[in-house]
Structure 1
Amino acid sequence: MNLKELKKKLDEQNVPTDMYSLNGWNPNEMMCIERKGQKWQVYCSERGMKTGMKIFKREVDACQYLYNIVMLCYRDRKEYLQK
């Protein structure tokens, strides 16, 4: 999947856009994906820093990783709010 397909999948799952950024670093607490040269970075923007960074050679791998992480967090958030 590419960024466009990733956005579509997240929208289909009704994931709030405040949980992720597909446009690189964001100062808010969220998961981010960013292309740097020939590589892709996926990380959590936390307190103005990039934490837990993973680097991928392929867009498809980076997008799948971000999707998996965001969906785990989203499910946890929904369960917490339903209590």
Structure 2
Amino acid sequence: MKKYKFMNLNKLKIIFSERNVDSSSYSINQTCSENTYCANNSSGKWEVFYFKNREKNMLKIFASESEAGTYLYDLVFKDPSTRVKRNIKDIDALKERLNDLGVRESDYVLGFFWDDKFSIIKNEQNKWEVFFSERGNKNDLQVFDTEYEACEYFFNYITGFDFIMNDLKPKEEPKKKGLLGRLGFKCTNTE
């Protein structure tokens, strides 16, 4: 798995933006809001923490901006609630979004349990479960009342892993229709 190292936190802001992290879920060198991941330079040292109940939780202090950025990255991407909501209403929409993004179907299953996969299933109590299955266990199990909540969480959960995002399948070029299209000619309607 590729491990990111950041030269500066401005680069990290760009990565957060590209990976659909909600900008209100983190703060860099600014006043921290409630329920926000923060990185602040204080007296030449970098503090990284989660600000909740007016306290610095999970506080770590780093000598370099790069180390602080790597820790902030890990905190933010381990928390799927930091991603922008995508309005993924059901499993069919979830599958379409994952496919559009290029996530390989070999990495997940939708609707049933399969070992060594990211999974989303409806259980006997009509609740939705999201987890990673390994050796028959449901790791990182989260349970939701609605399919919508589970699908939103699943999308953010699976796309938060570097090994998934670093191994996206290449986008397919649209197929050109007809012999002229395959030869590179463009057809225009002249009506």
TM-score tier after normalising by the smaller chain length? 0.7 to 0.9
How far 1:23 moved relative to its partner? 2.4
Secondary structure of 1:43 counterpart: strand
Structure 1: 5+ residue stretches without partners: none
Name the counterpart of 1:61: 149
Q: Quick one: distance in 2 between partners of 1:70 and 1:42?
A: 10
In the alignment, residue 106 of structure 2 is paired with which amino acid? D
Q: Quick one: distance in 2 between partners of 1:67 and 1:15?
A: 10
Name the counterpart of 2:119: 32
Q: Which has the higher helix share?
A: 1
Name the counterpart of 2:130: 42
Secondary structure of 1:15 counterpart: coil
Name the counterpart of 2:160: 72
The one-character-per-residue Cα deviations of 1:3-35 (angstroms, maximum 9, x if unpaired) are 0000000000010112111022102x1210000
- Equivalent pairs counted in the alignment come to 76
Q: CA RMSD in A?
A: 1.3
Query: TM-score normalised to the size of structure 1?
Result: 0.83
Query: TM-score normalised to the size of structure 2?
Result: 0.38
In the alignment, residue 47 of structure 1 is paired with which amino acid? R
What percent of counterpart residues are identical? 29
Q: Choose between structure 1 and 2 for higher RCO, CA contacts under 8 A separated by at least 6 residues.
A: 1
Name the counterpart of 1:5: 93
In the alignment, residue 32 of structure 1 is paired with which amino acid? S
In the alignment, residue 139 of structure 2 is paired with which amino acid? T
Secondary structure of 2:160 counterpart: helix
Q: Quick one: distance in 1 between partners of 2:103 and 2:139?
A: 21
Larger Rg: 2
Q: Quick one: distance in 2 between partners of 1:47 and 1:18?
A: 17
